[in-house]
């Protein structure tokens, strides 16, 4: 198991290094001028050149890359051209909101995937219509779902707030940065409740597509497993439906949906950009979506690196979990 | 199946429990007079230090917190005093003497005087941010007494008074606050990125980056107490969400960004109002002089003649704009001095159908209206036998175009807004051959020469005459084809009164004069 984790860690370093190269080449090819955006249209060419020199944007590309990589290794992700603050500081500020949203989305996605997978795998009358509904939802673009959610649950029903993380003017500033947790830790359940109300819509919007993807994979695996010989034997032995499903069906069907869940993390990250923008959720998705138009390279590169690390880490965790479930995979 | 049912019931119960605790049902009517005005920003603004801040989103905050020596009269290009009561210009056009108000205090309670204005000018030059160009020709400043401020220029600068009235022009920043919060040689820029220390009606009292900015009334404001004690800005990047929040009662005003259909729908609702104000914004078609199709002057002429600006403006903007009739925005040149109208001929483009090269790229830079205009042009081009592709350009891409000739589209649809109501702020920024944002690299040397001469000419009418001649040269090049004069369109809840607006202050209203209703 340790060897597997070690191999994955080495892979993660290589992936991040490769990613920085790709980012620098793309930035170089993109024909953008972030310095002009930074100093404004009326600034003189001399002023623009001075700022370009100050930021090191006049160095050869390989020198810029080396400067970036050596800095990143020590935690210096440079300064955002848009916010004028260190990218590491920006990330530290915006990351908790994204983590909270991603965690709740994953939780909702896991519950929904289980419900949908098990619900549609059974031979009951509603399975086919439910499957059709799932397909329809899976086809809807994220921005449409988010706007529909706001229209229905805020504008028409008035049940949920439309934007932001909280309506409370003085939420606790720590210790975790997750408002739902900090509310409990600081003895302010009103903060937790308010944060949960703000979380519902964005989390469901992020969760829907991965839930359906994982749920459909689970359905397929479960359907195959439930028709296998050992399940027939279990039935013949007189085990209950629940025992068969939980102890024999689900366990043997879990590896493929788990792989899919790890891969779906990419879709969660992609959804965060859209969902955080529409719901004005102050997380990394919103940060990066506002950095792209101005070609704020340090912000884009820093956030991308972080997401890459998270993606590799989660998929490593998935591999390890699969190995626990099926020890043959660890070899 | 019982498991599935139980899970669904649990989920629904939890959801119902959460929503039952809802405290903000939309449109909850209030019986008392509101003291907080709720607005939205579509992007998190850059640090709000007025000497480095140089963008449109967030201008509503800086203009409410800071004031300069001069300003414009509402919806006019006429300059009037603000922190200066009056001013005199020497006969050589190089020395400006301002008589300052003596009843002004900064939001930190310290007194405003000539020494503070001198320090503010020096701070702007030292920080060398984007707006520092407004003081590039300043040789020295002097404060002979607390109520007199003198500026000496290296040479005459025709638009200098407009620079001082510009929303990006030099403003008074409390020297005491700068000194108290300076870190190293940053002149307090770190602190002033998220705080304010000006003489305006409001001061920034709270900043949560990417989330919320709160202004509170400046207790030391010299111009009378603002009607709203607090102005709360939420960062809501998506305009559709802003529209829903306005209609749901979460916002009191949307400053810009909605589409024509949204405005029309809001206007029909008696609970809301839509205000239109004149601006310096012009929607234009920039033509690439190196384009294989539109390079020849005759082709540009055909393009211009094919455009029915009245119909296009109505189709794209509804009543949010009027078809352009002058080369430059209103007030920049005497009315009629640079008239810009032609008889539209939809068939004119057919002259290009015999071209060997028929493939063109239509770029657009800006909001959905400009995308719609680009799409409309694409249809016209295709009907004329050309193969047109529409491509969006973001800020970083479009500002790179002057240095990246190969990236330039054949034509670019953009709406531009100068920093001030002086024609030089248009010509020298967008049109001169060496202009920093002459996107498509069009060069009209004769016009540049006239504009350069006009810029240093002391006599105002003589200067205007030179600028007018330059305007005609730029116009004749057909590198820039004007379509519409765009207004600032603001959607707000009904009952808000006391609207006041300045032409160069884009997406901005005067918060101090707005009045709430119960």
Mean pLDDT is lowest, of A43-47, A93-97, B175-179, for A43-47
Distance from CA of A9 to the nearest CA of B (A): 33
Q: Which residue has the higher pLDDT, A113 or B69?
A: B69
- A41 and A186 co-located in one domain: no
Give the CATH number of the domain where residue A283 resides: 1.10.3720.10
- A111 and A161 co-located in one domain: yes
Distance from CA of A5 to the nearest CA of B (A): 35
Residues of A in contact with B168 (CB under 8 A): 42
Whether residue B506 is predicted with pLDDT greater than 80 in this model: the reply is yes
DSSP state of B430: I
Mean pLDDT to the nearest integer, A169-173? 82
Closest residue of chain A to B250, computed from CA coordinates: A162
3-state secondary structure of B513: helix
Quick check: B245 and A162 CB within 8 A?
A: yes
Residue A122 binned pLDDT confidence (cut-offs 50, 70, 90): low
Contact of B90 with chain A, judged by CB distance below 8 Å, is answered with no
Whether residue B229 is predicted with pLDDT greater than 90 in this model: the reply is yes
pLDDT tens digit string along B317-335?
A: 998 999 999 999 988 998 8
Nearest to B228 by CA among B31, B511, B518, B39: B511
Contact of B209 with chain A, judged by CB distance below 8 Å, is answered with yes
Quick check: A42 and B3 CB within 8 A?
A: no
The dihedral through the CA atoms of B395, A296, A312, A213 has a sign that is negative
Mean pLDDT to the nearest integer, A57-83? 87
Question: Which of B21, B240, B419 lies nearest to residue A197, judging by beta carbons?
Answer: B21
Question: Which of B7, B238, B394 lies nearest to residue A115, judging by beta carbons?
Answer: B7
Q: What is the pLDDT of residue A78?
A: 86
Q: Which residue has the higher pLDDT, B431 or A73?
A: B431
Residues of A in contact with B211 (CB under 8 A): 164-165, 280, 282
Q: Are B215 and A124 in contact (CB under 8 A)?
A: no
Contact of B341 with chain A, judged by CB distance below 8 Å, is answered with no
Q: Are A279 and A202 in contact (CB under 8 A)?
A: yes
Whether residue B53 is predicted with pLDDT greater than 50 in this model: the reply is yes
Q: Are A222 and A117 in contact (CB under 8 A)?
A: yes
The answer to whether position A82 is within a domain reads no
Q: Which of A42, A73, A104 is the last residue of a domain?
A: A73
In the 3-class helix/strand/coil scheme, how is chain A assigned residue by residue? CHHHHHHHHHHHHHHHHHHHHHHHHHHHHCCCCHHHHHHCCCCCHHHHHHHHHHHCCCCCHHHHHHHHHHHHHCCCCCECCCCCCEHHHHHHHHHHHHHHHHHHHHHHHHHHHHHHHHHHHCCCCCHHHHHHHHHHHHHCCHHHHHHHHHHHHHHHCCCCCCCCCCCCCCCCCCCCCCHHHHHHHCCCHHHHHHHHHHHHHHHHHHHHHHHHHHHHHHHHHHHHHHCCHHHHHHHHCCCCHHHHHHHHHHHHHCHHHHHHHHHHHHHHHHHHHHHHHHCCCCCHHHHHHHHCCCCCHHHHHHHHHHHHHHHHHHHHHHHHHHHHHCHHHHC
Residues of B in contact with A159 (CB under 8 A): 19, 22
pTM for the full model?
A: 0.83
- A131 and A166 co-located in one domain: yes
3-state secondary structure of B32: coil
Question: Which of B236, B399, B434 lies nearest to residue A41, judging by beta carbons?
Answer: B399
Whether residue B176 is predicted with pLDDT greater than 80 in this model: the reply is yes
Q: What is the pLDDT of residue A331?
A: 59
Distance from CA of B159 to the nearest CA of A (A): 14
Tokens matching residue B350: 């057919």
Mean pLDDT to the nearest integer, A105-123? 83
pLDDT tens digit string along B400-420?
A: 898 889 999 999 999 999 999
Cβ burial of B494 (10 Å; 0-12, 13-18, 19+) is exposed
| Contact map slice: B 17-46 vs A, CB within 8 A | 18-19, 21-27, 43-44, 46
Question: Which of A94, A114, A196 lies nearest to residue B210, judging by beta carbons?
Answer: A94
Mean pLDDT to the nearest integer, A128-155? 81
Quick check: B238 and A277 CB within 8 A?
A: yes
Whether residue A227 is predicted with pLDDT greater than 50 in this model: the reply is yes
Residues of B in contact with A165 (CB under 8 A): 211
Q: What is the pLDDT of residue B15?
A: 46
Which range is most confident: B173-177, B204-208, B290-294?
B173-177
Q: Which of A19, A41, A73 is the last residue of a domain?
A: A73
Residues of A in contact with B57 (CB under 8 A): none
Whether residue A220 is predicted with pLDDT greater than 90 in this model: the reply is no
Whether residue B12 is predicted with pLDDT greater than 60 in this model: the reply is no
Q: In what order do the strands lie in the sheet with B272-277?
A: B253-254, B488-493, B272-277
Mean pLDDT of chain B: 90
Residue A329 binned pLDDT confidence (cut-offs 50, 70, 90): low
Distance from CA of B436 to the nearest CA of A (A): 6
Write the DSSP assignment of B331-371 as a string of letters: TSS-TTTTB------TTGGGGGTT-S--EEEEEEESSHHHH
- Report percent pLDDT > 90 for chain B: 75
Which of A42, A122, A179, A190 should be substituted to probe chain B, the one whose Cβ sees the most B Cβ atoms within 10 Å? A42
Cα–Cα–Cα angle for B239, A303, B62, nearest 5°?
A: 45
Q: Which residue has the higher pLDDT, B518 or A138?
A: A138
pLDDT tens digit string along B114-133?
A: 999 999 999 999 998 889 99
pLDDT tens digit string along B421-452?
A: 999 999 999 999 988 889 999 999 999 999 99
Whether residue B237 is predicted with pLDDT greater than 50 in this model: the reply is yes
Residues of A in contact with B237 (CB under 8 A): 277-278, 280, 286, 289-290
Q: What is the pLDDT of residue A155?
A: 85
The answer to whether position A257 is within a domain reads yes
- A156 and A39 co-located in one domain: no
- A124 and A19 co-located in one domain: no
Maximum distance among all Cα pairs of chain A, rounded to whole angstroms: 85
Nearest to B282 by CA among B442, B41, B467, B480: B480
- A143 and A23 co-located in one domain: no
Residue A254 binned pLDDT confidence (cut-offs 50, 70, 90): confident
Cβ burial of A132 (10 Å; 0-12, 13-18, 19+) is exposed
Residue B161 binned pLDDT confidence (cut-offs 50, 70, 90): very high
Which range is most confident: A49-58, B24-33, B36-45?
B36-45
Q: What is the pLDDT of residue B11?
A: 45
Whether residue A271 is predicted with pLDDT greater than 90 in this model: the reply is no
Closest residue of chain B to A199, computed from CA coordinates: B18
Closest residue of chain B to A241, computed from CA coordinates: B1
The answer to whether position A80 is within a domain reads no
pLDDT tens digit string along A177-211?
A: 899 999 999 989 999 999 999 999 999 999 888 88
Closest residue of chain A to B130, computed from CA coordinates: A39
| Contact map slice: B 259-318 vs A, CB within 8 A | none
Quick check: A31 and B419 CB within 8 A?
A: no
Quick check: A48 and B436 CB within 8 A?
A: yes
Q: Are B261 and B316 in contact (CB under 8 A)?
A: no
- A6 and A114 co-located in one domain: no
Which domain, by its residues, includes A273? 95-325
Quick check: B396 and A165 CB within 8 A?
A: no
- A67 and A129 co-located in one domain: no
Whether residue B491 is predicted with pLDDT greater than 70 in this model: the reply is yes
Whether residue A262 is predicted with pLDDT greater than 80 in this model: the reply is no
Whether residue A3 is predicted with pLDDT greater than 70 in this model: the reply is yes
Q: Which of A73, A106, A136 is the last residue of a domain?
A: A73
Residues of A in contact with B238 (CB under 8 A): 277-278, 280
Q: What is the pLDDT of residue B33?
A: 65
Q: Which residue has the higher pLDDT, A32 or A175?
A: A175
CA distance A288 to A274: 11
Whether residue A142 is predicted with pLDDT greater than 80 in this model: the reply is no
Mean pLDDT is lowest, of A33-37, B264-268, B460-464, B468-472, for A33-37
The answer to whether position A291 is within a domain reads yes
Mean pLDDT of chain A: 84
Which of A26, A34, A35, A41 should be substituted to probe chain B, the one whose Cβ sees the most B Cβ atoms within 10 Å? A41
Count of pairs with CB atoms under 8 A, one residue in A, one in B = 188
Whether residue B20 is predicted with pLDDT greater than 70 in this model: the reply is no
Q: Are B333 and B418 in contact (CB under 8 A)?
A: no
Q: What is the pLDDT of residue B104?
A: 97
Whether residue B28 is predicted with pLDDT greater than 70 in this model: the reply is no
- A40 and A128 co-located in one domain: no
Mean pLDDT to the nearest integer, B463-485? 95
pLDDT tens digit string along B355-405?
A: 778 899 999 998 889 999 999 999 999 988 889 999 999 888 898 898 889
Q: What is the pLDDT of residue B270?
A: 93
Name the domain count of chain A. 2
Tokens matching residue B121: 């000018």
- Report percent pLDDT > 70 for chain B: 93
Q: Are B209 and B44 in contact (CB under 8 A)?
A: yes
Quick check: B54 and A40 CB within 8 A?
A: yes
The alpha helices in B21-159, defined as continuous H runs, are: 59-65, 114-127
pLDDT tens digit string along B56-112?
A: 889 999 999 999 999 999 999 999 999 999 999 999 999 999 999 999 999 999 999
Distance from CA of B183 to the nearest CA of A (A): 15
Mean pLDDT to the nearest integer, A307-329? 77
Whether residue B4 is predicted with pLDDT greater than 50 in this model: the reply is no
Q: In what order do the strands lie in the sheet with B480-486?
A: B321-323, B480-486, B282-287, B411-416, B359-365, B387-392
The angle that helices A87-121 and A255-278 make with each other, rounded to 10 degrees, is: 130
- A292 and A151 co-located in one domain: yes
Q: Which residue has the higher pLDDT, B135 or A83?
A: B135
Q: Which residue has the higher pLDDT, A232 or A159?
A: A159
Whether residue B23 is predicted with pLDDT greater than 60 in this model: the reply is no
CA distance A263 to A214: 10
Whether residue A157 is predicted with pLDDT greater than 80 in this model: the reply is yes
Contact of B234 with chain A, judged by CB distance below 8 Å, is answered with yes
- A55 and A197 co-located in one domain: no
Contact of B397 with chain A, judged by CB distance below 8 Å, is answered with yes
Mean pLDDT to the nearest integer, B46-52? 94
Q: What is the pLDDT of residue A330?
A: 61
- A64 and A145 co-located in one domain: no
Distance from CA of B236 to the nearest CA of A (A): 5
Q: What is the pLDDT of residue B219?
A: 95
The answer to whether position A78 is within a domain reads no
Query: Per the omega criterion (within 30 degrees of 0), is the bond before A175 cis?
Result: yes
CA distance B260 to B253: 16
């Amino acid at each position: 198991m340790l060897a597997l984790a070690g191999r994955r860690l080495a892979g993660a370093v290589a992936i991040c290094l490769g990613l920085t190269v790709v980012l620098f080449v793309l930035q170089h090819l993109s024909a953008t001028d972030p310095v002009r955006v930074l100093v404004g249209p009326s600034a003189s060419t001399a002023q623009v050149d001075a700022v370009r020199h100050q930021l090191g944007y006049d160095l050869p590309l390989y020198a810029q890359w080396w400067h970036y990589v050596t800095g990143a290794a020590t935690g210096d992700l440079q300064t955002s051209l848009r916010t004028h603050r260190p990218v590491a500081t920006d990330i530290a500020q915006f990351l908790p909101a994204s983590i909270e949203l991603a965690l709740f989305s994953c939780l909702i996605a896991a519950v929904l995937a289980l419900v949908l997978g098990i619900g549609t795998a059974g031979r009951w009358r509603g399975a086919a219509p439910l499957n059709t509904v799932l397909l329809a939802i899976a086809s809807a673009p994220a921005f449409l779902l988010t706007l529909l959610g706001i229209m229905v649950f805020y504008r028409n029903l008035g049940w949920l707030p439309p934007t932001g993380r909280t309506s409370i003017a003085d939420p606790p500033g720590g210790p975790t940065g997750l408002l739902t947790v900090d509310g409990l830790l600081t003895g302010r359940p009103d903060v937790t409740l308010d944060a949960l109300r703000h979380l519902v819509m964005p989390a469901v919007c992020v969760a829907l597509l991965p839930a359906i993807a994982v749920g459909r994979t689970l359905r397929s695996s479960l359907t195959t497993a439930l028709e296998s010989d050992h399940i027939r034997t279990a039935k013949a032995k007189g085990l209950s439906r629940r025992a068969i499903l939980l102890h024999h069906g689900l366990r043997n069907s879990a590896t493929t949906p788990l792989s899919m869940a790890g891969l779906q993390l990419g879709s969660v990250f992609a959804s965060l950009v859209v969902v955080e923008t529409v719901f004005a959720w102050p997380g990394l998705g919103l940060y990066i979506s506002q950095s792209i138009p101005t070609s704020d390279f340090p912000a884009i590169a820093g956030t991308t690196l972080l997401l890459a690390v998270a993606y590799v880490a989660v998929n490593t965790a998935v591999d390890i979990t699969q190995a626990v479930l099926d020890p043959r995979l660890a070899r | 199946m019982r498991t599935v049912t139980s899970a669904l019931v649990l989920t629904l119960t939890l959801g119902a429990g959460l929503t039952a605790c809802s405290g903000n049902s939309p449109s909850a009517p209030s019986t008392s007079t509101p003291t907080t005005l709720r607005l939205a920003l579509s992007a998190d603004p850059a640090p709000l230090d007025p000497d480095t801040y140089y963008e449109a989103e967030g201008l509503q905050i800086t203009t409410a917190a800071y004031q300069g020596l001069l300003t414009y009269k509402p919806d006019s290009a006429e300059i009037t005093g603000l922190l200066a009561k009056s001013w005199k210009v020497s006969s050589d056009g190089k020395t400006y003497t301002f008589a300052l108000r003596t009843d002004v205090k900064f939001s930190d309670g310290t007194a405003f005087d000539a020494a503070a204005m001198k320090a503010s000018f020096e701070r702007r030059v030292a920080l060398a941010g984007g707006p520092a160009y407004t003081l590039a020709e300043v040789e020295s400043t002097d404060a002979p007494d607390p109520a007199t401020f003198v500026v000496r220029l290296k040479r005459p600068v025709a638009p200098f008074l407009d620079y001082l009235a510009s929303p990006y022009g030099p403003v008074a920043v409390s020297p005491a606050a700068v000194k108290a919060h300076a870190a190293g040689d940053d002149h307090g820029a770190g602190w002033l990125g998220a705080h304010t220390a000006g003489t305006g009606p409001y001061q920034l009292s709270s900043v949560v980056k990417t989330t919320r900015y709160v202004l509170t009334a400046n207790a030391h404001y010299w111009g009378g107490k603002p009607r709203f004690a607090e102005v709360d800005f939420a960062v809501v990047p998506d305009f559709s969400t802003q529209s829903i929040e306005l209609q749901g009662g979460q916002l009191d005003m949307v400053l810009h960004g909605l589409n024509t259909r949204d405005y029309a729908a809001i206007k029909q609702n008696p609970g809301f109002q839509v205000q239109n104000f004149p601006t310096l914004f012009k929607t234009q078609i920039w033509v690439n002089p190196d384009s294989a199709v539109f390079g020849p002057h005759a082709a540009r002429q055909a393009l211009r003649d094919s455009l029915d600006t009245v119909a296009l403006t109505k189709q794209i903007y509804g009543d949010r704009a009027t078809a352009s009739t002058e080369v430059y925005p209103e007030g920049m040149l005497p009315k009629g001095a640079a008239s810009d109208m032609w008889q539209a001929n939809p068939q004119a483009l057919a002259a290009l159908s015999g071209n060997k090269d028929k493939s063109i790229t239509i770029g657009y830079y800006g909001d959905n209206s400009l995308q719609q205009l680009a799409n409309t042009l694409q249809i016209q081009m295709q009907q004329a036998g050309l193969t047109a592709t529409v491509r969006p350009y973001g800020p970083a891409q479009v500002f790179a175009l002057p240095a990246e000739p190969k990236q330039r589209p054949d034509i670019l649809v953009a709406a531009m807004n100068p920093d001030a109501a002086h024609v030089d702020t248009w010509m020298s920024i967008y049109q001169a051959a060496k202009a920093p944002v002459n996107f498509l690299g069009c060069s009209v040397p004769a016009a540049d020469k006239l504009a350069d001469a006009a810029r240093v000419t002391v006599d105002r009418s003589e200067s205007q005459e030179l600028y007018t001649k330059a305007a005609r040269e730029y116009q004749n090049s057909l590198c820039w084809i004007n379509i519409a004069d765009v207004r600032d369109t603001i959607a707000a809840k009904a009952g808000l009164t006391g609207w006041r607006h300045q032409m160069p202050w884009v997406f901005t209203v005067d918060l101090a004069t707005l009045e709430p209703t119960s």
